[in-house]
C-alpha cells in the first residue's frame, strides 16, 4: 500500500481540532513512512477561516514534531492555499519559509464558498463551469506545486441531492487545466477524501485521471485530506488499484518543493 500521505490538516486549520501529535502518531501506527502537513491558508472573506492561518506558528509546530518523531517518520511541512494566484501579496511571508509542498486549491469563487453556499446561488452547470474557469486561471498563474482536489464540488452537490457531474460535459475545460499543469510541471493531486463522501470516488474523477495519463501527465501526488486521525490514508489501497489500472507506475512526494518518485507496485 502507499506509505505516504501528503495532504493532512491539524488544528492550525480552522476546520480541524486534531493536534499535530495525534496526527503523527496515527500515521506511525498505520506504518506510513512520510507525511506532509498542509494546513489551510485562505484569504477570501467568503471563507470562514480567512486570514486566520499563522504560517510561522504552523511551521514551528511541524518543526517541533519533526524533532520529536523524526527518527520514526519523515515529516514535511507544506500549506494548502486557497486561490493562491489571487492572494500573492497576502502570502509573501509564507513563501519565505522553507516549505516542502504548496497545494493550490479553489475553495471560493467570488463571494461564495464551493464548500458552503456556491450551489445555493448557482445552478450546478453554472457553479461547476465557474469552478473550472477559476481553476484554469490558478493553474496558469499560481506559484504552487500541486493542484488540489480537482472536481471536489461533487461532495457538496451531493448534500443537495444533485446527481454527480459528468466529466464529459466539461471535457474542454478540464483538458485545458490538465494541459497547463503538465506544461508547468505541477502535480495533479489524487485526493482520497472523496472516497468517504456520498458519491465515493477520488478527486478527480477516474475518467479525468485517464485523460491526464493519456495526455502524458505523470506527475501525481496522493493525499487523504485528513482533518482527523482516523481519516489518514483513507482509501489508499483502492486508489492504488485505480492508478495501477489506468497505467500509472509511480506517484510523487515533495521535499523542498521538488518532486521525488515513489513506485506504485504491481500485485
- Give the β-pairing of 112-113 and 108-109: antiparallel
- CA Rg, the chain, in Å? 17
pLDDT in tens, 148-206: 999 999 999 999 999 999 999 999 999 999 999 999 999 999 999 999 988 899 999 99
The pLDDT of residue 267 is 63
Torsion of CA 5, 232, 32, 106, to 10 degrees: 10
Share of the chain above pLDDT 70, in %: 100
E-strand stretches of 53-94: 74-82
Range of the domain at 256: 4-263
Spatial distance between the Cα atoms of 129 and 26, rounded to a whole number of angstroms: 38
Contact 260, 251 (CB under 8 A): no
Query: Distance between CA 193 and CA 191 in Å, rounded?
Result: 6
How do beta strands 74-82 and 250-255 pair? unpaired
CA distance 7 to 16: 13
Q: Are 76 and 16 in contact (CB under 8 A)?
A: no
**Count of helices and strands (H, E) across the chain:** 9, 11
Threshold 0.95, pTM exceeds: yes
User: b/e per residue, 156-166, with b = 16+ CB within 10 A?
Assistant: bbeeeebeebe
Cβ proximity of 13 and 53 under 8 Å: yes
Pair type for strands 74-82 and 34-41: parallel
Residues 64-85 have pLDDT tens digits of: 999 999 999 999 999 999 999 9
Least confident of 97-101, 123-127, 155-159, 238-242: 155-159
Dist CA 204 CA 222 (whole Å): 11
- Is the pLDDT score of 1 beyond 90? no
CATH of the domain at 250: 3.20.20.140
Which tens digits make up the pLDDT trace of 128-155?
Answer: 999 999 999 999 999 999 999 999 999 9
How many domains does the chain fold into? Answer: 1
Amino acid at each position: 500500500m502507499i506509505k505516504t500521505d501528503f495532504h493532512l490538516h491539524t488544528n492550525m486549520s480552522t476546520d480541524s481540532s486534531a493536534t499535530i501529535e495525534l496526527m503523527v502518531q496515527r500515521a506511525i501506527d498505520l506504518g506510513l513512512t512520510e507525511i506532509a502537513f498542509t494546513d489551510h491558508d485562505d484569504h477570501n472573506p467568503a471563507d470562514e477561516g480567512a486570514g486566520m492561518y499563522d504560517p510561522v506558528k504552523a511551521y514551528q509546530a511541524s518543526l517541533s514534531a519533526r524533532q520529536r518523531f523524526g527518527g520514526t517518520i519523515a515529516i514535511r511541512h507544506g500549506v494548502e492555499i486557497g486561490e493562491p494566484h489571487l492572494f500573492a501579496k497576502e502570502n509573501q511571508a509564507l513563501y519565505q519559509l522553507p516549505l516542502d509542498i504548496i497545494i493550490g486549491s479553489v475553495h471560493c469563487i467570488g463571494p461564495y464558498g464551493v464548500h458552503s453556499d456556491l450551489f445555493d446561488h448557482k445552478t450546478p452547470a453554472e457553479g461547476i463551469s465557474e469552478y473550472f474557469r477559476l481553476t484554469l486561471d490558478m493553474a496558469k498563474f499560481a506559484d504552487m506545486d500541486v493542484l488540489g482536489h480537482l472536481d471536489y464540488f461533487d461532495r457538496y452537490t451531493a448534500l443537495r441531492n444533485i446527481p454527480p457531474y459528468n466529466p464529459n460535459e466539461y471535457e474542454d475545460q478540464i483538458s485545458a487545466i490538465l494541459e497547463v499543469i503538465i506544461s508547468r510541471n505541477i502535480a495533479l493531486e489524487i485526493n482520497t477524501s472523496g472516497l468517504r463522501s456520498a458519491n465515493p470516488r477520488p478527486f478527480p474523477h477516474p475518467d479525468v485521471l485517464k485523460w491526464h495519463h493519456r495526455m502524458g501527465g505523470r506527475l501525481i501526488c496522493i493525499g487523504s485530506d485528513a482533518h482527523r486521525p482516523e481519516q489518514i490514508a483513507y482509501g489508499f489501497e483502492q486508489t492504488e488499484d485505480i492508478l495501477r489500472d489506468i497505467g500509472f507506475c509511480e506517484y510523487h512526494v515533495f521535499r523542498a518543493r521538488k518532486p521525488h518518485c515513489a513506485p506504485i507496485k504491481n500485485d
